[in-house]
Structures are given as C-alpha cells and as structure tokens.
Amino acid sequence: MLEAFDFVLFGGAGDLALRKLIPGLFRAHRNGELPEGTRIIPTLRNAQMVLEYKDKVRDAAQKHLNKDEFEATAWDSFATIIFPVFIDISKLDDKWAALAELLNNGENRQRVFYLSTPPSVFSDACKHLHESGLITKYARVVVEKPLGYDAKTAEEINSSIAEYFKEEAIFRIDHYLGKETVQNLLALRFANGIFEHLWDARTIDNVQITISETVGLEGRASFYDGAGALRDMVQNHILQLLCLVAMESPNKMTAERIRAEKLKVLESLRPLTGNTVKYNTVRGQYVAGQMDNTNVPGYLDELGQPSNTETFVAIRAHIDNSRWANVPFYLRTGKRMKSRFAEIVIQYKDVAHRVYPETAGNPVPNRLVIRLQPEESIKIIMNSKDLGKHETHLSPVVLNLNFAETYKDFHSDAYKRLMLDAAANDPSLFIHRAEVDAAWAWIDPIIEAWQRPENKPLGYMAGSWGPIASAQLLASDGRNWFNIE
Ligand code: BG6
C-alpha cells in the first residue's frame, strides 16, 4: 500500500516536468492513486516563477494530456497539493532551510527527490540535500538520463550521487521500463509455458528491436549533437529491451533478482571492437527529404553547423551464452524515419521440412510481434489454410491481442508508473549502477571505432527507413527488417 509521500521535483519548470511528470502526477491524482496528504514540491529558479507556476503547469497539462483526461475540477483539487518553492540548486542558502522546514513537518514520510535536471547539478543537489539534513531513511533520489557520456563520466556521476545516497535509494530511470507492454513482456515470457519453452536458439531465428521515430532535433540540438543515437537510445532503452527479451527467468520477481539477470545479459554481449564494428554496425544521419508530403530539412540544416553525429544506428549483436548461441539480435533506432513505431519481433525458425508443394504458396516465418507504440499490442503471425478452397493454399493470419481495444479507458503512462514505484520504494523497474557500467562497457568501443574516418555516418533521406546499408546488414544474413507502413 502506497503511503502519503512528498515528491520534490528539481527542475520543476523544465521540459520533462511540464510534458510528462506533472501530467503523470495529475493522472495519478485523478485516478485516486495518490494517497491523501501527498505533496508535490517543484523547485524553481526564481521567485517570479513560483508565482506563475500553477498557471504554467495547468496550461502545459491541458496541452499534453489527452482531451478527455483534463477536467477542471480534478485539476483544481490537484493544484492544492502542489507547493512550488524557489531554490538555487548550486547555492546552500536559506531557501534550503525553508525546504527543510516544509519537509520536516513530515519527517517520517516517504520522500522522493526527482532530479529532472542536467547531470552537472546532480552532485550539488545531493550535497545540499545532505547538508540540509533532508536525506532521511525514507528518502530516495530519482535520476534521469543521460547518465554519462561514456563509462568514465557515468562512473563520475554515479560516484557523486553515491557519496550521499545508498545504492538502494538511487532510482535510475529508463522510461521504457515503465511502458506497459515492456512489463507485459515479462508476464508473457514467465507466466506462459508456450513461450517459455519456445525461447532459445533451437527455435528462434533472430530477434529485431526497433525504435523508429519521426521527430527530428526537437530544439534539443545542444544535447543531441553531443550524444547521438547510440548514446541517446541504444545505451539505455534498446539495451534494456534486449535484456528483458534475453534474460533467464529470475527465481522471484524481485528487483534484486530481475536486475541480476539483466546484468548477466549485458555482460554476455559479444564485444564489438575495431574492425568488427564496421561489419556489424550502420551509422546514419538524415538529409533533407519528404514526410507526409512536406519537405523537411536535413540534420545539418537543422543544426546549422557540420557534424558527424549519428541520428540512426543499426547493430547486429550476439549474446554469447547457450540460450542465444548464433541468434542475431538486430537493433535499430533513428530519427526522421518513415513511421513512428517501437517493436520487438521474435522471428521463429522455419519448419524443418516443407510438406506443402510450391503451389500452396510460401509459408511466412512465424513471428511474435510485441508492439510498444504507437499502440500496444502483441501479435503472432502464423500460416493458415485459406478456408473454403479445395486446393490447399497457405496465407499469413494474425493472432492479435490489441490492448487498445481491450482496455479502452486505459492511458498508458510510463512516467506515472515509475514515479509511483519510486514513491512505493520499488526499484524493480529502475537501473542498477552495475547495469549502467556494463552497458557503457559494450558501447564505448563502438564509439571509439566510429572515430575512424571510414565510419562516418551515411546519409539517409528524412522519411525513409535509414541508410541502404541498414537493409544490407540483414540482407547479408539472408534476412530483412520488419517495418510498418
Ligand atoms: C528519450 C530520448 O530518452 O526517448 C529522445 O532522449 C527520444 O531522443 C525519446 O525521442 C523517445 O521516447 P518515447 O517514449 O517517445 O519513444
């Protein structure tokens, strides 16, 4: 049972807070999921912002929530539990004392410090929380990506937080783990015999994980150009999805056991270094193209300067253990792609011997397709006889579990889920420090090899499926990507 808690949101007027965090908390309030007495305490950089804050978040919530979700009366009652405060994170002054006074009214209450700020201020925030006596045994800190630029900077960030918070109280967020279908992947795997017995190199031909986006830079040039698709999406979201697909069954669904199994997967990833990087990865950068019949500029035009940052990446990865021996995991993500979708496709091996003549048509490979967005669904693609015809003819049919249909009033909200988990002190869907380290240990050599001139990003047209080399990566293995139109 969730107890009333204090949710201190550093960076309370930032983009993430306005787009996702405050709307997520409002959803929780409207659903009756916030216990009576819960307080939301956004920290802001000046006194004027405090005065304007409630109007500002109301406008933002109206914009970012679905139309049917915003209700003026529910918002008004939600607004009464928001207590914005003025704090300069970099300076320990009387504002911190005021925050302490506010919080110490409820010294034994659950307390979440959410750092929705650049990592450069994590250390100051934690230090000042400590010096103000705010890190009680009921306190935990939630930190947002990017957790570093490479293994070394990640280590620095993690160490600076660890000076003040114990590992059990550090909640590293990856919002992909809060998505319902991602958690359902675990239920699908570990609560269903049919899948658990068909989940290895004997039965599976390959696995594809795609996060394809249509957006471009979205005004985040300074962050994105320093990061690129590998750091922004693969190091975290895609590797986490890979872990959930590939991990062994934890003997219990506890945070500790789940995270230990995920870590083993990361540590079993076959390293890609030096020359193997060119053969197994494709880097791309979008050039001008057309999307929905509209011309869109290329990455360099949006950026306004030369850059070798990739906006697309495709990787052929292998997990060196007996379950996954020789099964390629094809990973792919890109901006300004043809369609927005995120999907995990498990492609099964063909039947050992084809009994039907060619006239019956070519059976398609069986696929289990787990769609995370735009809608959440799980499908199985199978072959079936065309009913009613005398001659046997095979056609693909789809077993479709469409959650949007089944759960009509359900609005999936990964951030809401994760904020409530943090409040309930459940770290199962958060990342352990060892996972961050293991992920960077695999990513760093790829970045290093990409510094070679022959590994510059290849151009791809905005509105396409990425560089041609991405299709060739799979074609060279006799396979192809599964795209949606
Ligand atoms: C973020 C990345 O972590 O995830 C963004 O920084 C990306 O670049 C976003 O657009 C995608 O999240 P979602 O949930 O919209 O797929």
With the most atoms of ligand 1 within 8 angstroms of its CB, the residue from 237, 311, 371 to mutate is 237
Q: Measured between alpha carbons, how far is 333 from 290 in angstroms, rounded to an integer? A: 19
Beta carbon of 232 within 6 Å of any ligand 1 atom: yes
ipTM of the complex: 0.99
Cα 356 to ligand 1 centroid, rounded to whole Å: 45
Confidence at residue 145, expressed as pLDDT on a 0 to 100 scale: 87
pLDDT, tens only, 421-437: 999 999 999 999 999 99
Predicted TM-score (pTM) of this structure? 0.96
pLDDT at 146: 86
8 A C-beta contact, residue 470 and residue 332: yes
Q: What is the pLDDT of residue 169?
A: 98
Q: In this predicted structure, what is the pLDDT of residue 406?
A: 77
Q: What are the Cα distances from residue 416, in Å, to 142, 156, 260, 424? A: 13, 29, 25, 12
User: For 68, which DSSP code?
Assistant: G
- Per residue in 70-123, pLDDT (tens digit) is 999 999 999 999 999 999 999 999 999 999 999 986 668 899 999 999 999 999
Closest ligand 1 atom to 176 CA = 14
Among 332, 301, 331, which residue's Cα sits nearest to residue 319?
A: 331
175 is catalytic: no
Residue 470 vs residues 103, 132, 281, 464, 466: alpha-carbon distances, Å: 53, 52, 8, 11, 7
Q: Over the stretch 231-240, which tens digit does the pLDDT of each residue have?
A: 999 999 999 9
Cβ neighbour number for residue 374 with a 10 Å cutoff: 12
- Catalytic-role residue among 29, 128, 175, 237: 237
Q: b or e along 287-298 (b: 16 or more beta carbons within 10 Å of the residue's beta carbon)?
A: bbbebeeeebbb
- How far is ligand 1, taken at its centre, from the CA of residue 413, in Å? 13
